[in-house]
Amino acid sequence: MAQVEQIIERIEAGDLPLAEVFNQFTQAMQQLNQCETFLNQQQQQMDVLIETLSDEDDENF
Protein backbone atom coordinates (compact mmCIF):
# COMPACT_ATOMS: atom_id res chain seq x y z
CA MET A 1 0.00 0.00 0.00
CA ALA A 2 2.87 2.36 0.74
CA GLN A 3 4.13 1.98 -2.83
CA VAL A 4 0.66 2.69 -4.20
CA GLU A 5 0.45 5.82 -2.04
CA GLN A 6 3.84 6.99 -3.35
CA ILE A 7 2.69 6.45 -6.92
CA ILE A 8 -0.48 8.43 -6.27
CA GLU A 9 1.55 11.27 -4.75
CA ARG A 10 3.83 11.37 -7.80
CA ILE A 11 0.85 11.39 -10.16
CA GLU A 12 -0.94 14.09 -8.18
CA ALA A 13 2.20 16.24 -8.05
CA GLY A 14 2.06 16.50 -11.83
CA ASP A 15 5.80 16.02 -12.20
CA LEU A 16 5.56 13.02 -14.49
CA PRO A 17 5.23 12.91 -18.26
CA LEU A 18 1.89 11.52 -19.43
CA ALA A 19 3.38 8.20 -20.55
CA GLU A 20 4.92 7.73 -17.09
CA VAL A 21 1.60 8.58 -15.44
CA PHE A 22 -0.02 5.70 -17.34
CA ASN A 23 2.88 3.40 -16.46
CA GLN A 24 2.71 4.31 -12.78
CA PHE A 25 -1.08 3.97 -12.78
CA THR A 26 -0.78 0.49 -14.29
CA GLN A 27 1.74 -0.51 -11.63
CA ALA A 28 -0.51 0.81 -8.87
CA MET A 29 -3.49 -1.13 -10.22
CA GLN A 30 -1.43 -4.33 -10.37
CA GLN A 31 -0.31 -3.87 -6.79
CA LEU A 32 -3.86 -3.16 -5.64
CA ASN A 33 -5.03 -6.33 -7.41
CA GLN A 34 -2.33 -8.30 -5.59
CA CYS A 35 -3.50 -6.82 -2.28
CA GLU A 36 -7.09 -7.73 -3.07
CA THR A 37 -6.10 -11.31 -3.95
CA PHE A 38 -4.12 -11.62 -0.73
CA LEU A 39 -6.99 -10.26 1.36
CA ASN A 40 -9.49 -12.58 -0.33
CA GLN A 41 -7.27 -15.58 0.39
CA GLN A 42 -6.92 -14.55 4.02
CA GLN A 43 -10.68 -14.07 4.31
CA GLN A 44 -11.25 -17.58 2.95
CA GLN A 45 -8.83 -19.00 5.52
CA MET A 46 -10.61 -17.10 8.30
CA ASP A 47 -13.97 -18.41 7.09
CA VAL A 48 -12.66 -21.98 7.22
CA LEU A 49 -11.28 -21.41 10.71
CA ILE A 50 -14.56 -19.93 11.93
CA GLU A 51 -16.51 -22.80 10.40
CA THR A 52 -14.17 -25.34 11.99
CA LEU A 53 -14.48 -23.69 15.39
CA SER A 54 -18.26 -23.50 15.04
CA ASP A 55 -18.42 -27.19 14.14
CA GLU A 56 -16.31 -28.05 17.20
CA ASP A 57 -18.61 -25.99 19.43
CA ASP A 58 -21.66 -27.74 17.99
CA GLU A 59 -20.11 -31.14 18.72
CA ASN A 60 -19.50 -30.19 22.35
CA PHE A 61 -23.18 -29.50 23.00
Structural domain containing residue 47: 2-60
What residues contact 3, with CB distance under 8 A and at least 6 apart? 28, 31
| pLDDT digit string, tens, across residues 5-28 | 888 898 899 888 999 999 999 999
For residue 60, pLDDT over 80 is answered with no
Provide the domain count of the chain: 1
Closest CA to 2 of 30, 28, 41, 40: 28
pLDDT at 56: 77
